[in-house]
């Protein structure tokens, strides 16, 4: 069930992204190419899937919100392009492919990122299946999660923590902002789209928090035990770059235990949800057994 | 009237920006400082003033929308920070002050820009004085104007035109996207906030188009005849950088004539508006006589 659900959603999302690209062929072909290169570079499409899955968990068909769901992939993609820039992480490869600035140059990479971020809000605002009140709520969720208090703020802390030993609490806060906030926005947006009540929203938010934590810990574990070809980047780069991670601050064993704890808490937060939340439960199990 | 109207609005905007900054002190102090440095670096606050002035022109007090109006200054400021980056225009000074990356480094400058853009949408979405339908319309205007089909797209064309002789039609298109679109979004947002009908919206849009044109031509003229200290950048830099401008593609005289033509057209589009549009009329006159 798990695999086919994900595959079906991934296919739908890729199809939708392609459609948006064709409709919105930008003013400038080179810009459109640069945007599309990173948007279609693969990836698990986890964030849009989470939007749809949260709606599903509340008994509302998440696929009704397919187009709007892709907006968060625009935000995620822009953040990857900017993170990879020479002034930031200076990465040459991402998912086994050359990074955006390596192919299109730094200037176009910066601008492609800017345009992707901007387009995310356009996609939500111009959606035809969702009412204005709901759109405004979702734009609020996404902008808070992506901005200075969320993803961008987390990235600044990450940069400033380089070559510094930080404690596990700071590490947690940094990831909660850098990657966790956008996972939260995804789940909460799906819940809002499905008309969740306060309690449902709180439970799904807790799920998202634990999900984000489990996701990040597994990322750190994969950097040590992963297969270079499968994860698409060199193994052991965190240690080489003196990065504080759940593994380097503890051990492989302690990191695995923390990840399992997060998975258990995530599932516990779904106790009031019935069969409809089966995918969300399966997804956190998959998270800590994934190999990329 | 003109000067005191502008000064009053500028003061209100600066006060409001300061308030937003204090409320939203970001997760990270360095990020907040970098955002604030460029946001408070001065500038004429033309875009938020245009939002309020368009509402005024329709007989609705624009100052009711002060907070929302500042959102467009966040977008404008982010675009200046990113334009100045070494990978783009590589400018050391802006408005007589060191550019953002010169003070805070490239990485933080990129991220401060990202956070400012994101916060623009948060400010609109969380505004307390405007209904959801109107917010969605304004987010649509701003995202289209700022993105791949507007400002970012225009910046790409500008980059690609460097050291190339382009014709005046291409120059016009480039500026219409790079700077014109955001002026249009400002005026149209103000009109939408004031509940403009179709015809009023069309007339104000035409005003904005001519306004943008007159603004750009004057910028090109000031690069030749301006005072270095007053405009805050070296005079003659366009010619030195082999940039196509309304002056280099024609002459100082032809540029002045084009600017006057745009001013006349802008005023003609306001013929159905009464006394309430007096500021908008005075503003285009000021535009071509300004010295910075």
Q: If we measure between CA atoms, which residue out of A255, A269, A138, A252 comes closest to residue A195?
A: A138
Residue B28: list chain A partners with CB under 8 A. Answer: 148, 153, 156-157, 160
The DSSP output letter for B2 is H
Residue A139: list chain B partners with CB under 8 A. Answer: 121-122, 124-125, 139
> Which structure tokens are listed for B234?
């070296």
- Using the predicted structure, report yes or no on whether residue B235 has a pLDDT greater than 80: no
Please give the pLDDT value at position A180: 97
For the stretch A128-172, pLDDT in tens is 999 999 999 999 999 999 999 999 999 999 999 888 889 999 999
For the stretch A257-271, pLDDT in tens is 999 999 999 999 999
Closest partner residue to A152 (CB to CB) among B111, B143, B157 is: B111
Please give the pLDDT value at position B130: 98
H or E element in which residue A97 lies: strand A97-98
Which residue in chain B has the smallest CA separation from A135?
B136
Contact B118 A152 (CB under 8 A): yes
H or E element in which residue A94 lies: strand A93-94
Q: Which residues pair with B97 in a beta bridge?
A: B94
Contact A82 B115 (CB under 8 A): no
Least confident of A87-96, B63-72, B151-160, B219-228: B219-228
User: How many Cβ atoms sit within 10 Å of the Cβ of residue B114?
Assistant: 28
> Which structure tokens are listed for B266?
């802008």
Please give the pLDDT value at position B155: 95
| Cα–Cα distance, A131 to B199 (Å, whole number) | 26
Mean pLDDT value across residues A183-208: 98
Q: For B218, list phi and psi in degrees, rounded to 5.
A: -65, -40
Residue A120 C-alpha, separation from nearest chain B C-alpha, in angstroms: 9
Contact B157 A106 (CB under 8 A): no
Residue whose tokens read 């000064």: B7
Residue whose tokens read 């982010």: B78
User: How many Cβ atoms sit within 10 Å of the Cβ of residue B140?
Assistant: 20
- Using the predicted structure, report yes or no on whether residue A207 has a pLDDT greater than 80: yes
The domain locations on chain B are: 2-289
ipTM: 0.96
Contact B177 A106 (CB under 8 A): no
Tell me, yes or no, if B184 comes closer than 8 A to chain A by beta carbon: no
The DSSP output letter for B58 is T
Contact B27 A157 (CB under 8 A): yes
Q: For B92, list phi and psi in degrees, rounded to 5.
A: -90, -25
Contact A159 B135 (CB under 8 A): no
Residue whose tokens read 């750009």: B216
Tell me, yes or no, if A104 comes closer than 8 A to chain B by beta carbon: no
Least confident of A238-252, B104-118, B228-242, B258-272: B228-242
The DSSP output letter for A93 is E
Contact B119 A148 (CB under 8 A): yes
| Cα–Cα distance, B189 to B222 (Å, whole number) | 29
**C-beta of residue A135 within 8 angstroms of C-beta of residue A125:** yes
Q: If we measure between CA atoms, which residue out of B281, B267, B88, B69 comes closest to residue B185?
A: B69
Q: Which residues contact B284 (CB under 8 A, 6 or more apart)?
A: B210, B211, B214, B262, B263, B266, B267
| Cα–Cα distance, B26 to A156 (Å, whole number) | 11
**C-beta of residue A237 within 8 angstroms of C-beta of residue A93:** no
Tell me, yes or no, if B98 comes closer than 8 A to chain A by beta carbon: no
| Cα–Cα distance, A265 to A275 (Å, whole number) | 18
**C-beta of residue A110 within 8 angstroms of C-beta of residue B110:** yes
User: How many Cβ atoms sit within 10 Å of the Cβ of residue B119?
Assistant: 27
- Architecture of the domain delimited by B2-289: Orthogonal Bundle (1.10)
Tell me, yes or no, if A105 comes closer than 8 A to chain B by beta carbon: yes
Please give the pLDDT value at position B59: 97
Q: For A93, list phi and psi in degrees, rounded to 5.
A: -130, 150
E strands present in B17-142: 93-94, 97-98
Tell me, yes or no, if B282 comes closer than 8 A to chain A by beta carbon: no
Pick the more confident residue, B225 or B127.
Answer: B127
Please give the pLDDT value at position A238: 78
Tell me, yes or no, if B72 comes closer than 8 A to chain A by beta carbon: no
**pLDDT category of residue B232 using cuts at 50, 70 and 90:** low
Tell me, yes or no, if A41 comes closer than 8 A to chain B by beta carbon: no
| Cα–Cα distance, A10 to A16 (Å, whole number) | 10
- Using the predicted structure, report yes or no on whether residue B216 has a pLDDT greater than 70: yes
Closest partner residue to B35 (CB to CB) among A115, A119, A148 is: A148
Pick the more confident residue, A255 or B288.
Answer: A255
Tell me, yes or no, if A22 comes closer than 8 A to chain B by beta carbon: no
Q: Which residues contact B274 (CB under 8 A, 6 or more apart)?
A: none
**pLDDT category of residue B97 using cuts at 50, 70 and 90:** very high
For the stretch A42-56, pLDDT in tens is 889 999 999 999 999
Q: If we measure between CA atoms, which residue out of A284, A192, A278 comes closest to residue A5?
A: A278
Residue B86 C-alpha, separation from nearest chain A C-alpha, in angstroms: 9
Q: Which residues contact A114 (CB under 8 A, 6 or more apart)?
A: A78, B78, B82, B113, B114, B117, B152
């Amino acid at each position: 069930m798990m695999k086919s659900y994900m595959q079906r959603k991934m296919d739908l999302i890729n199809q939708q992204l392609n459609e948006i690209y064709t409709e919105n062929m930008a003013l400038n072909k080179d810009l459109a190419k640069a945007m599309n290169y990173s948007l279609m570079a693969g990836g698990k499409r986890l964030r849009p899937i989470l939007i749809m899955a949260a709606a599903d968990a509340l008994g509302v068909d998440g696929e009704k919100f397919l187009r709007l769901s892709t907006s968060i992939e625009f935000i995620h993609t822009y953040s990857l392009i900017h993170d990879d820039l020479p002034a930031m992480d200076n990465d040459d490869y991402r998912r086994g492919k050359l990074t955006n600035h390596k192919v299109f140059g730094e200037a176009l990479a910066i601008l492609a990122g800017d345009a992707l971020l901007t387009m995310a809000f356009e996609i939500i605002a111009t959606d035809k299946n969702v009412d204005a009140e709901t759109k405004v709520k979702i734009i609020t969720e996404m902008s808070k999660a992506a901005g200075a208090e969320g993803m961008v703020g987390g990235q600044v802390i990450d940069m400033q923590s380089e070559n510094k030993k930080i404690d596990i609490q700071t590490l947690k806060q940094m990831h909660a902002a850098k990657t966790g906030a956008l996972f939260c926005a995804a789940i909460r947006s799906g819940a809002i789209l499905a008309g969740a009540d306060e309690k449902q929203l709180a439970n799904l938010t807790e799920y998202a928090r634990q999900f984000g934590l489990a996701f990040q810990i597994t990322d750190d574990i994969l950097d040590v035990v992963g297969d270079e070809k499968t994860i698409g980047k060199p193994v052991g780069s965190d240690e080489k770059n003196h990065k504080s991670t759940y593994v380097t601050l503890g051990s492989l064993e302690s990191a695995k235990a923390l990840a399992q704890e997060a998975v258990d808490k995530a599932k516990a937060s779904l106790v009031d949800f019935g069969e409809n939340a089966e995918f969300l439960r399966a997804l956190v199990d998959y998270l800590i057994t994934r190999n990329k």
